[in-house]
Amino acid sequence: MRATIQNINGYHFALRPTRTKWDPSHVILVGLSEREGHWAKIANGAIVCCECDLQGDITIGSRTVIHPRAKIIALSGPIIIGENNIIEEQVQIINSSETTMVIGNNNVFEVDCHVESKFIGDNNIVESKAFVGRQTSLSNGCVIGAKCEVLVAETLQEGSLFYGAGSDVKRRVQSDKPSAQGAQIEFLSKVLPNYHRIRKPLG
Amino acid sequence: MELEDTLFSTSEYVQTHTGNKVSRQSTLCGSQNIILNGKNIIMGESMIRGDLANVRMGQYCILSKQSVIRPPFKKFAKGVAFFPLHVGDHVFIGENTVVNAAVVGSYVYIGKNCVIGRRCILKDCCMIADDTVLPPETVVSPFTIYSGSPGHCVEELPEAMQDLMIDYTKSFYQHYIPDKDVSGVNPINLVTRK
């Protein structure tokens, strides 16, 4: 099983679980870190719930909505997220390389998708449980369907669309642009602060 | 055939007076909008997004680990809103599943790692196989099994599905018992840094 990184009270541990129980002898102290949020630069107007997991050097543009339990982890390099994005719960955006990871505007990352791609343009949709590998770059208007794993080492053409199941993923190009999510972002900006604590934007 | 006992640690779960067993590691957002009708099991690290819209679950529902129940989103002429989500009785939802449906009927079995698309309607007594992806706005008819990506009807279920699900969920609930011998697991002695 993979090691999981657990955040307990602001300290980060790597735990190697044996079967389903965590054996104390397998706990390794990876490193102490400040409570997350101190290194994230959040623009005015972004709605970032406190329960999401932000680690490392992250910049978040205005009007971006990040739902609780999202994980944005800038392990070695920084992550820059543009405006008007929607990042839903259980999404993992992980930058494990040392170059900057750039995410553009108006993107939607649906529940439980996993993104390691270094460059994502505008107006893309990554659907539930999709996986976008490190070598792939999304241009504008791409749609990665649910549960698709996209590992191709190329910059995807504008409007490309991936569909199908895990290993049998097909692609085609669509001419329509994915619809704008402005209305949903407005709705979430009004509703989420009523139920969650929002991280304070800096500046 | 009796199910085996599944033990959970007492410190990890909260038992309400109506018999709901809710894990402390689960996230129930907007809990005032979530109605659990009794004898439900919400296992660890799952999420119910009650903050987006009302979520109502019937009796004997089982929500496995890391699943997400999320009301779907609908654009009306005058604006947008999240639809309330109704889940019926005796529903089993597998691990790691994302349920974005508008209505889930009663006596439904949803496998693990599924993606139920937005505004889907799952009628009573249907079954969604593991690893299925249901596209948005699919209507799953009663007594069918859907599987694949995109989900298609692959098989029909016997009429006993209702009794089978009642049996399964009731006995799962009765065999999900606290492990009284487990003391609180504390993996490390933390030296607090203040």
Please state the ipTM of this predicted complex.
0.82
What is the number of domains present in chain A?
Answer: 1
Inter-chain CB proximity A183 and B79 less than 8 Å: yes
Average pLDDT of span A179-203: 83
Q: pLDDT confidence of B142, banded at 50, 70, 90?
A: very high
A43, A62 in Cβ contact below 8 A? yes
Which among B51, B187, B192 has the least Cβ separation from residue A22? B187
Interface contact B72, partner A, CB < 8 A: no
Burial class (CB in 10 A: 0-12, 13-18, 19+), B170: middle
Average pLDDT of span A111-124: 91
Interface contact A194, partner B, CB < 8 A: yes
Exposure letters B65-88 (e unless 16+ CB within 10 A, then b): bbbbbbbbbeeeeeebbbbbbbbb
pLDDT digits (tens, 9 = 90+) for B4-49: 788 888 888 888 889 899 999 898 888 899 999 889 999 888 999 9
* Higher pLDDT, residue B111 or A159: B111
Q: What is residue A6's DSSP assignment?
A: E
Range of the domain at A161: 40-165+178-198
Residue A14 falls inside a structural domain: no
Inter-chain CB proximity B80 and A191 less than 8 Å: no
Which among A111, A145, A146 has the least Cβ separation from residue B68? A111
Residue from A26, A89, A125 to probe the interface with B (highest B Cβ count within 10 Å) = A89
Residue A60 falls inside a structural domain: yes
Strands lying side by side in the sheet with B92-93: B13-15, B21-23, B41-42, B62-63, B92-93, B109-110, B127-128, B144-147, B152-156
Q: In whole angstroms, give the CA distance from residue A40 to residue A73.
A: 11
Please report where in the chains the tokens 């209507």 appear, as a residue: B139
Q: In whole angstroms, give the CA distance from residue A24 to residue A44.
A: 43
Strands lying side by side in the sheet with B47-49: B27-29, B47-49, B68-69, B98-99, B115-116, B133-134
B178, B9 in Cβ contact below 8 A? yes
- What's the confidence (pLDDT) of residue A168? 74
B141, B151 in Cβ contact below 8 A? no
- What's the confidence (pLDDT) of residue A24? 41
Residue A10 falls inside a structural domain: no
* Higher pLDDT, residue A26 or B182: B182
* Higher pLDDT, residue B105 or B2: B105
- What's the confidence (pLDDT) of residue A180? 75
Exposure letters B118-134 (e unless 16+ CB within 10 A, then b): bbbebbbbbbbbebbbb
Inter-chain CB proximity B117 and A192 less than 8 Å: no
Distance from CA of A136 to the nearest CA of B (A): 23
∠ CA(B107), CA(B109), CA(B111), 5° rounding?
A: 170
Distance from CA of A99 to the nearest CA of B (A): 31
Interface contact B82, partner A, CB < 8 A: yes
- pTM, entire model: 0.80
pLDDT digits (tens, 9 = 90+) for A8-67: 444 334 344 434 333 343 333 332 233 444 467 888 888 888 888 888 889 998 899 999
pLDDT digits (tens, 9 = 90+) for A68-82: 889 999 888 889 999
- What's the confidence (pLDDT) of residue B1? 67
Distance from CA of A14 to the nearest CA of B (A): 12
- What's the confidence (pLDDT) of residue A25? 38
CATH of the domain at A129: 2.160.10.10
A146, A165 in Cβ contact below 8 A? no
Residues 86-145 in B contacting A (C-alpha not used; CB under 8 Å)? 96, 98, 100, 113, 115, 117, 131, 133
Distance from CA of A81 to the nearest CA of B (A): 24
- What's the confidence (pLDDT) of residue B179? 77
* Higher pLDDT, residue B145 or A35: B145
Residue from A15, A21, A30, A90 to probe the interface with B (highest B Cβ count within 10 Å) = A90
* Per-residue pLDDT at B58 exceeds 70: yes
Q: A79 Cβ partners below 8 Å, 6+ apart? A: A56, A57, A58, A59, A72, A93, A95, A100, A101, A103
pLDDT digits (tens, 9 = 90+) for B120-141: 999 999 999 999 999 999 999 9
Query: Which residues sit opposite B9 in a β-bridge?
Result: B179
CA distances from A157 to A11, A109, A113, A142, B124 (A): 42, 19, 21, 8, 42
For the record, the structure tokens of A17 come out as 């679980």
Inter-chain CB proximity B188 and A89 less than 8 Å: no
3-state per-residue secondary structure call for B21-61: EEECCCEEECHHHEEECCCCEECCCCEEECCCCCEEECCCC
Percentage of residues in chain A having pLDDT higher than 90: 21
| Dihedrals phi, psi of B132, to nearest 5 degrees | -90, 150
Q: Nearest residue on chain A to B150, judged by CA atoms?
A: A164
> Around A163, how many Cα atoms within 13 Å sit in the side-chain half-sphere?
13
Query: A31, A30, A79, A36: which is closest to A57 by C-alpha?
Result: A79
- What's the confidence (pLDDT) of residue B108? 93
Q: In whole angstroms, give the CA distance from residue A124 to residue A109.
A: 8
In CATH, what number does B8-179 get? 2.160.10.10
Mean residue pLDDT of chain A comes to 78
Residue from A18, A108, A112, A194 to probe the interface with B (highest B Cβ count within 10 Å) = A112
First to last CA, chain B: 55
Interface contact A28, partner B, CB < 8 A: no
